[in-house]
Structure 1
């Protein structure tokens, strides 16, 4: 069963409830997400993206989600 952008946003929001999250993509496998969260402050980009990947790890490992291009940052 293909995953959709809403499901990805829900998974990310479970780990980042206060984040601004925008997920785009509609082919069921390839998506792009922007996640802006205060918890990223003081962390480098790799640390930020690892935290988001941890939130969606099950879908990545199962192959249900093939690719997610991430943009992460702390709020301005």
Structure 2
């Protein structure tokens, strides 16, 4: 079952309620997301991305995942 950009944003908002989040893509499987959140301060890029993947609650897991590809940009606010 395809997933929408809106559904991805809702999942991310649960874990990052104060973040600036932008999710683009409309084919149901391939998306790009920007997540800018204060909680990322002091984390390296891998740690930030792991936090985002955890927020997606398994939607990218394995061949049966609803979300096939996510180009991800994460950062703390400047």
TM-score (norm 2): 0.93
> CA offset at residue 32 of structure 1?
0.4
- Specify the alignment match of 1:29 in structure 2: 29
Q: Which stretches in structure 1 are left out of the alignment for 5+ residues?
A: none
> CA offset at residue 25 of structure 1?
0.4
Q: Deviations over 1:13-32 (max 9, x none)?
A: 10000000000001100000
Q: Which stretches in structure 2 are left out of the alignment for 5+ residues?
A: none
- Specify the alignment match of 2:77 in structure 1: 75
> CA offset at residue 68 of structure 1?
0.8
CA RMSD of aligned residues (A): 0.8
Q: Deviations over 1:31-56 (max 9, x none)?
A: 00000000000100000000000011
- Specify the alignment match of 1:6 in structure 2: 6
How many residue pairs match? The answer is: 76
Structure 1 segments, 4+ long, off by >2 Å, are: none
Q: Deviations over 1:50-69 (max 9, x none)?
A: 00000113211241110111
TM-score (norm 1): 0.95
